[in-house]
Amino acid sequence: MRVGFIGLGNMGKPMASNVLKAGYETTVHDLQPGPVADMVSMGAEEAASPQEVARVSEMVFTSLPRPSDVEQVVLGEGGVVTGAAPGSLLVDMSTNSPQVIQRIAATAAETGIEVLDAPVTGGIRGAKKASLSIMVGGSEKAFEHCRPVLEAMGSNVYHMGGVGMGNVAKLTNNLLSLTNSLVAMEGMVMGAKAGLDVQKLWNVIHTGSGNSFIFENFFPYIIFKGRWEPPTFPIDLVLKDLGLAVEEAERAGAPVPMARLAIERFKEAVACGLGSKDVGAAITMLEKVAGVEVRVPQP
């Protein structure tokens, strides 16, 4: 099977690498030449446009920052639909709007192209280790056809329902994780301000009921080191994801007051010049008010 991969960013490049390592002939495209060159050095083929990727691929994967990027790459001039053959499959692994991916799927179907949405969670480490959780929306038949390639990228692959339901699951996940991140930051700043050793406090919470994926990963790997750049998840994209989650909640008629509060806090972070920095940098606003830092001396 010939596979195409468009979008070689923080998540896309390691995912595409794992597809290539699994033995699939892989053609790649990205606006940045560096990651493309890296993939070519590993054995991938380079294509000059999304259209060219689609022309040589039975299955095309996209991993892009925003819904508008996906629409342009798939439906725009020189896009995937202009090069893909009838019967081919497009799998969008971006965090997308359910309504946008449903609209893309309807348009692509007019030319005989089937679409799945397959956003992921697990972060850059999960992408590198091929241990991502992948949430897939679309037909059962297309899902089963695609499953072996998805399993080259993730250890937990779930079929969530029709097109768009993968992103409903992903937005729900991100609503939970991103609101939790702010509470975790507040708790650690509170402990530091009271005079606790933050490493000892982390040790306690790590084994207690306050533990979470966010707590496990934000503090030892990002916040304790003050490592805001290069960002694993920039605050600008955090706002995009939370905004999409709130839009979906409104459409469904579900109240999400905590997510709305989180959006306001992250907007404050952007106003403070933190938009391009890692989501963990939001803690610096709390630290400034409290007059403490949640850091651990590095060896």
List b or e across 194-222, with b for residues whose CB sees 16 or more CB atoms inside 10 angstroms: eeeebeebbeebeeeeeebebbebbbeeb
The yes-or-no verdict on residue 299 having pLDDT over 90 is no
d(CA 243, CA 122): 20
Task: Look up residue 27 and give its two tokens.
Answer: 């053609």
For residue 193, indicate whether it is catalytic: no
Would you tell me the crossing angle of helices 235-252 and 165-193 to the nearest 10 degrees? Answer: 120
- Residues paired with 59 in a beta bridge: 3, 89
Task: Look up residue 67 and give its two tokens.
Answer: 């819904």
User: Mean pLDDT throughout 246-260?
Assistant: 97
- Read off the pLDDT of residues 261-289 as tens digits, 9 standing for 90 and up: 999 999 999 999 999 999 999 999 999 99
Domains detected in the chain: 2-163 (3.40.50.720), 168-290 (1.10.1040.10)
d(CA 120, CA 27): 21
**Which pairing describes strands 132-137 and 120-121: parallel, antiparallel, or unpaired?**
antiparallel
> Where does residue 113 fall: left (phi above 0), alpha (psi -120 to 50 degrees), or beta otherwise?
beta
Provide the pLDDT confidence category of residue 65 given band limits of 50, 70 and 90: very high
- Read off the pLDDT of residues 178-194 as tens digits, 9 standing for 90 and up: 999 999 999 999 999 99
- Read off the pLDDT of residues 16-54 as tens digits, 9 standing for 90 and up: 999 999 999 999 999 999 999 999 999 999 999 999 999
Give me the pLDDT at residue 1, please: 87
HEC per residue, the chain: CEEEEECCCCCHHHHHHHHHHCCCEEEEECCCHHHHHHHHHHCCEECCCHHHHHHCCCEEEECCCCHHHHHHHHHCCCCHHHCCCCCCEEEECCCCCHHHHHHHHHHHHCCCCEEEECCEECHHHHHHHCCEEEEEECCHHHHHHHHHHHHCCEEEEEEEECCCHHHHHHHHHHHHHHHHHHHHHHHHHHHHHCCCCHHHHHHHHHCCCCCCHHHHHHHHHHHCCCCCCCCCCEHHHHHHHHHHHHHHHHHHCCCCHHHHHHHHHHHHHHHCCCCCCEHHHHHHHHHHHHCCCCCCCCC
> Which position among 170, 200, 225, 288 bears the catalytic label?
170
The yes-or-no verdict on residue 298 having pLDDT over 90 is no
Give me the pLDDT at residue 210, please: 95
Mean pLDDT of the chain: 97
- Read off the pLDDT of residues 90-115 as tens digits, 9 standing for 90 and up: 999 999 999 999 999 999 999 999 99
